[in-house]
Structure 1
């Protein structure tokens, strides 16, 4: 054991023995991009980030061999160049152990190489960071104050890769496998992330937790199965217990929510996204945990191009009774509200539903939901400037706005909704327990059971 520890110490020393970069190496680095929220912001100026020291550049030399773990070397570089320096990841790295980087301060992180997470489902099931909410776990977590993470999309690489294929295949035989999120931003206050590629997360791509003033821009996300195995989850971004978040100017190809606003997400702007294959831009799911209060309010979703998705604009709330949905996803009975949410300028191409509002998430029995209405209310929601075409799946129906009781939804507005159905028939929407006088759509009573595949 002592011999192995000595070897590990020598290996880490080699990885960081030349962390202070030379001027010639520094000259090849991209400059920190000027990233600002546009055209909309959260209502408060983003914290200023001063220039970093021109001397403190920490490079990490990637290890060699099959069983290498670059996590210790990366950790040492972050410690060395924290508080005013720049960490550079410009090689091909393998991360085989969890990394806690939630203590950063006044630091830039340049990723022009590749950060690959070891494909070992059961190692990570045991050793990843765990969270109670929805059985989340994570490879690594980044947080602190005044952090800029960026790459260079013009030169390839600048990549975070979760190598999710092995996890998706294992999910076919083990539905309860805990799978890590590719990147967790936790307790971050004043963080930008831009110009990066993210590929194949075992679970969600990103979660932003307990954070304020986070700006995400110019990211390229893709989850792709090599052999037709179903990709499990793969949300693009989830926000949770966070305030003043902007996600913008990015492309997402995935199989679950493009963006999801989890409990206690406030003052969030999502704008200028191209989403393909997803479950839409989703508020929720909310009200999952009995006795917990979920507040989601002040959201502005602008200029979205959504294609080949199950839903476009979506709000999903659990019913007032506990219910089982999936092996690791069940709940209902939680409290709270959704308030002041706007979806503005939304293009649809081959989405099953242009608009979905449900307070019966996870429950197949709509009658039971009506008997036990959601304890979480939905109010002051506007959807406007929608156009395009939905898929043939429910033609001529183009969406569904179903609340569990008349007093659970109020001031729901739909205006300038020009979404068509493939048959060229007049599009209709299932509407129930909702004031239709503020809806610029043709409503009908629900005529068939809901498709509960996605909740």
Structure 2
């Protein structure tokens, strides 16, 4: 199903910018966002040009404790169905925005958009909630034929969406039950692009793409950094959920959790040409969390990824076959479904604890219980190939783990052309259990007694 349009690319990434339309002050023309080198096998819907001259510039409030959400809503209503909405000033959003009514519009962000962090419990009570892992969002954008873009040639602080996450990271240390909104949600969108934008300091994940199809994300710059040394909570780059035909490419992510995570019912997704720093990997899951629910993750291609200073790289995390408590807001196990037809190809590992991680005991430190209740969810036809670079000294000489909970839970898992080195210079080894070792071009050892998979998400 995967279509290779232009051949391999190197890991070094450039963040392209768009041309400036001279008819209006600093309004970039819409970038031509095309998947490459791989696409999902289906053509993305055509997005026609917008109505000439139909621009809605979003007004900025002047009062110190303002809320620009009503002005944003008004501009989107006025320019919906054919117009271009321009965010060229500094905006502060202080109330939730449901923008899932959009149709044939472009959103151009050359200014900056921030969310009011003066009362984290306001957002705890007023954000849009998802039942999946008790997530929530400040705002959600959906509809049909939507393009969101900025201009990365502008100085830092422009073309930026800022979650002001520090206040939430501090608060969650004393209240682990605090709902912290995600920075951005594409929810219920069919046909969308998002490109040439900066995202900064989300209270929780950066992005969720939920209940959507035919989406291309390109040339994005995501960074989560504390100014006070506060531990950053979560900050996944992108999470796909109940979505089909998604491409995420040509972007930079510096965060503290999954660089990209494929949540339940993510299908036909391409991830390519990313530079990730400080993350928990390119992760399938966690899945199988909810009893009596079927999770499907199928047809993924992950290509040309650079990963630095992360806990894991190529990663699959499945809950065990019985419900278990793990962390606040994160408990589960017993769900059904499958992971099928997944390829990780051309991965550069730089000082990551594990180059490969497969577990079907996610969220459970009691391995005896995992063995007694194997995962109900199977992993089939997975290829990990052309992985090179180094791991960290943390587990040296181990470079990864490939552990299934029972012999019939995993099939067709192949590992090919792995040239990852460990700092000691010893031959790298991998913990393997219930795998077909004849398909693994690496040195397997028996699983250790210590369960090291304790990260959230």
TM tier, shorter chain?
A: over 0.9
Structure-2 residue corresponding to 1:353: 354
The 1-side partners of 2:23 and 2:100 are apart by 28
1:287-436 map, 5 Å:
287-436=288-437
> Which structure: greater helix fraction?
1
Task: Show CA shifts across 1:269-320 (max 9, x none).
Answer: 0000000000000000000000000000000000000000000000000000
The 1-side partners of 2:166 and 2:48 are apart by 40
The 1-side partners of 2:308 and 2:154 are apart by 28
Task: Show CA shifts across 1:392-438 (max 9, x none).
Answer: 00000000000000000001000000000000000000000111000
Task: Show CA shifts across 1:34-92 (max 9, x none).
Answer: 00000000000011100001121000121112210000001000000000000000000
The 1-side partners of 2:76 and 2:279 are apart by 35
Structure-1 residue corresponding to 2:140: 141
- Is the alpha carbon distance of 1:25 and 1:166 closer, same or farther for their aligned partners in structure 2, counting shifts above 3 Å? farther
How far apart are residue 366 of structure 1 and its match?
1.4
Structure-2 residue corresponding to 1:11: none
Structure-2 residue corresponding to 1:121: 120
1:87-236 map, 5 Å:
87-119=85-117, 120-156=119-155, 157-236=158-237
Say whether the 8 Å CA contact 2:26–2:110 is kept in structure 1.
no
Task: Show CA shifts across 1:311-363 (max 9, x none).
Answer: 00000000001111101100000000000000000000000000000000000
Worse-matched range after superposition: 326-335 or 27-36:
27-36
Task: Show CA shifts across 1:149-187 (max 9, x none).
Answer: 000000121000000000000011000000000001000
The 1-side partners of 2:140 and 2:68 are apart by 16
The 1-side partners of 2:402 and 2:287 are apart by 16
Match of 2:33 among 26, 35, 45: 35
The 1-side partners of 2:22 and 2:270 are apart by 39
How far apart are residue 231 of structure 1 and its match?
0.6
How far apart are residue 448 of structure 1 and its match?
3.1
2:411 is the counterpart of 1:446? no
The 2-side partners of 1:353 and 1:308 are apart by 10
The 1-side partners of 2:168 and 2:308 are apart by 26
How far apart are residue 228 of structure 1 and its match?
1.6
| Residue correspondences, number | 433
Structure-2 residue corresponding to 1:73: 71
For structure 2, list consecutive stretches of 5 or more residues without a partner in the other structure.
1-20
Spell out structure 1 runs of 4+ moving beyond 3 A: none
How far apart are residue 103 of structure 1 and its match?
0.7
For structure 1, list consecutive stretches of 5 or more residues without a partner in the other structure.
1-22
The 2-side partners of 1:453 and 1:123 are apart by 31
CA RMSD of aligned residues (A): 0.9
How far apart are residue 25 of structure 1 and its match?
6.6
The 2-side partners of 1:127 and 1:26 are apart by 37
The 2-side partners of 1:305 and 1:452 are apart by 22
How far apart are residue 96 of structure 1 and its match?
0.2
Task: Show CA shifts across 1:100-154 (max 9, x none).
Answer: 1101000000000000000021000011011111101000000110111000000
The 2-side partners of 1:34 and 1:338 are apart by 33
The 2-side partners of 1:116 and 1:225 are apart by 16
How far apart are residue 28 of structure 1 and its match?
2.6
Task: Show CA shifts across 1:207-259 (max 9, x none).
Answer: 00100000000000000111221111100000000000000000000000000
2:81 is the counterpart of 1:63? no
How far apart are residue 447 of structure 1 and its match?
2.5
Higher relative contact order (CA 8 A, sep 6+): 2
The 2-side partners of 1:177 and 1:423 are apart by 42
